[in-house]
Amino acid sequence: MDSARSDSFMALKILVAGGFGVGKTTLVGSVSEIRPLSTEERLTEAGRPVDSLDGIQHKTTTTVAMDFGRITIHHDLALYLFGTPGQDRFWFLWDELAQGALGAVVLADTRRLADSFAAVDYFEHRGVPFVVAVNCFEGARSHRAEDVAGALDLDPGTPVVLCDARERESCKEVLIRLVEHAASSYEARLDANAPSS
């Protein structure tokens, strides 16, 4: 139908997760036109010890800023990157972000691999296809991708890519690996659901 152009426009969502300070903002900025996106959320019990409400007892929402970027593939197709908030107290935002996502990049720093565990667990349990991208910080010892996969106890088949979040080409490669991996995961799922005739 030509009258409603939105019918033919497709927007795909990719999440960029990982620990605080691992380079999520850098990655989103390297490969897309990055812009802030803010959302206000009700303060939860989990947030209470952190967000002091002394003197502002009526404040029940807090503003969360996320990194957000658009990559235009063509007129009718665009990828949207969402940098997930790093702090644990914003976990409740992830469910909405993860719903319907094409896939996710878990950005990892080999000096602080444990910071990636939560994101890896989350995407494995939710069945969201993901790749682990190891941001190779200068001065960090380089590790082989297999060693990182072992240390993170990844399911076999989950790709691990070494990258430099500051380099556009490198970030493109990460996204390409993710989309390829998502494509094969979806294909495998379709095959598993297909009648065996």
Partner 1 sequence: MTDSTPHWYDDEAGPMVRLYAMTAGRARPSSEAFDLMAVVHADSGPGPLGEGSALSPEQYAILTLCADRPRPVAEVASDSGLPLGVVRVLLSDLLAEGLIHVNRPVPPAQLPDAHILREVIDGLRAL
- Name the residues that contact partner 1, by CB under 8 A: 3-7, 9-13, 31, 35-40, 63, 68, 70-71, 73-74, 77, 79-80, 82, 96-97, 99-102, 168, 172, 175-176, 179-180, 182-183, 186-187
Closest approach of partner 1 to the CB of residue 47, in Å? 16
Q: By C-beta, is 50 or 77 nearer to partner 1?
A: 77
Select 96 or 121, whichever has its Cβ closest to partner 1.
Answer: 96
Q: Output the smallest distance, CB 37 to partner 1, in A.
A: 5
Whole-angstrom distance, CA of residue 148 vs CA of residue 18: 14
Residue whose CB is less far from partner 1, 43 or 71: 71
Residue 32 · residue 69 · CB < 8 Å: yes
- Nearer of residues 49 and 100 to partner 1, judged by Cβ: 100
Query: 14 Cβ partners below 8 Å, 6+ apart?
Result: 79, 80, 81, 82, 101, 102, 103, 104, 105, 175, 178
Task: Give least dist CB 43 to partner 1, A.
Answer: 13
Nearer CB in complex with partner 1: 57/142: 57
Contacts 24+ apart (CB under 8 A), 51-55: none
118-144 in b/e burial notation, b at 16+ Cβ within 10 A?
bbbebbeeeebbbbbbbbbeeeeeebe
Residue type, 100: G
CB of 151 to partner 1, least distance (A): 28
Q: How far is the CB of 6 from partner 1 (least distance, A)?
A: 3
- Distances, alpha carbon 138 to alpha carbons 95, 100, 147, in Å: 34, 35, 19
Least Å distance between CB 110 and partner 1? 25
Closer residue to partner 1, CB minimum distance, 118 or 179:
179
Calpha distance 101→189 (Å, rounded): 16
